[in-house]
Structure 1
Amino acid sequence: MDSLGPDDVILFQDEASVQFSPTSTRMWSLKGHQPEIYTYGGRKRQHLVGTVEPLEGNLHVAFSDTLKAPQFQHYLEGLLARYPESKKLIIVLDNARAHHSKELDPFLDANKERLELVFLPPYSPDLNPMEWFWKFLRKMVTHNTFFGTFKEFQHALIKFIVKHKTSSLEIKTRCSYTKLFSSA
């Protein structure tokens, strides 16, 4: 990554698969009473692709059928459309197979003036603020929560994402990289 220009934007990107079945976590209950959480079982899930702009608190999340290279490219195209031509998007991301796919090469070459991918070291999710958002989303939406239908589950995800979508203080706080960027 070269020096940052005043109009450059740094985004942290990641994908997640959120299970439809509730995940059990610690919760309050009466002593001697085991809480029951209903579940359908199975492996149904919703795939999400997201980026966070930690300095501004902006969040961009899209639902996806799969987490493969064509969907990743489509997501990147959407990000480029959201930001003006004068800005360069620097996207910090993990080393998922879809991010290194040869299918992306023509697209990345065609957009190299506006788009730069910066890969995190392998196995370092703690360096990606988007991972922090996924953890927050699961805690607030799916932990210890039963949804009657998959549509209700998707609606709860959408409601949570929309609430935190733009310049959210919660996102700035949870995904803060202020110290990292202000030391320059």
Structure 2
Amino acid sequence: MIGGESHSDKKRFVEFLDKSNAENFYQFLKLFYQELIAEWVAAGNEADEFAEKGAKIVIILDNASFHKKAEYLQKIAAEMPNIHLEFLPKYSPDYNLIELVWHSAKEFIANRLFKSIEELEYLLHQLLNQGELIIKWGRKLKNKGNALITV
């Protein structure tokens, strides 16, 4: 599963991947970029003006190796000029706000039995993409003695 959340409106964008690798990460960003362009057009703008006049999006990533493959970083920069990738310091999940989303989702599904992977994916889709998950934003995330209050 890969996903993110908009800081301003808390809108979530989550996809289920068969495998975490650079190609799937790139395809996820392409899909996300197409969604942004669709929203831009729905607001009455021209798609071909998005790169120049559309919102600039900063995506904060952890340091997974597939996020940093040079060939894909070059493709993202060339094909998605509105997206700027920033990387968290190494070994710092306590700074990654999406960890609160994952923690809340894991808490919700803990100790439940599912008949199939599809049933689990459906529930996660409802929680993450349909806004049914209540996220505990005030929770402290701890990692190796560090903590961050995310209010």
- TM-score using structure 1 length: 0.61
- Given that 2:5 and 2:11 are in contact with CA atoms closer than 8 Å, whether structure 1 keeps it comes out as yes
Trace 1:167-182 onto structure 2 (pairs within 5 A). Answer: 170-171=134-135, 174=137
Q: Which residue of 1 aligns with 2:144?
A: none
Unaligned residue ranges in structure 1 (runs of 5+): 1-47
Change (3 A) 1:92 1:65: same
Read off the aligned partner of 1:96 and give its amino acid letter.
A
Shift, 1:62, TM fit: 0.3
* Partner SS, residue 104 of structure 1: helix
Shift, 1:111, TM fit: 3.8
Read off the aligned partner of 1:68 and give its amino acid letter.
N
Read off the aligned partner of 1:115 and give its amino acid letter.
I
Trace 1:1-16 onto structure 2 (pairs within 5 A). Answer: none
1:61 to 8, 11, 14: 14
- Tell me the number of residue pairs that the alignment of Structure 1 and Structure 2 aligns: 126
Q: CA RMSD in A?
A: 2.5
Q: Which has the higher contact order (CA 8 A, sep 6+)?
A: 1
- TM-score using structure 2 length: 0.73
Give, in whole Å, the separation in 1 of the partners of 2:33 and 2:95: 24
Post-superposition Cα deviations, 1:67-122, rounded to whole Å, max 9, x if no partner, equal 10000001111121122321111101111001111230331231463111010001
Task: Identify, as 1 or 2, the structure richer in helix.
Answer: 2
Unaligned residue ranges in structure 2 (runs of 5+): 41-49, 140-148
Give, in whole Å, the separation in 1 of the partners of 2:89 and 2:80: 22
Q: Which residue of 2 aligns with 1:98?
A: 66
Highest CA radius of gyration, 1 or 2? Answer: 1
Give, in whole Å, the separation in 2 of the partners of 1:175 and 1:82: 29
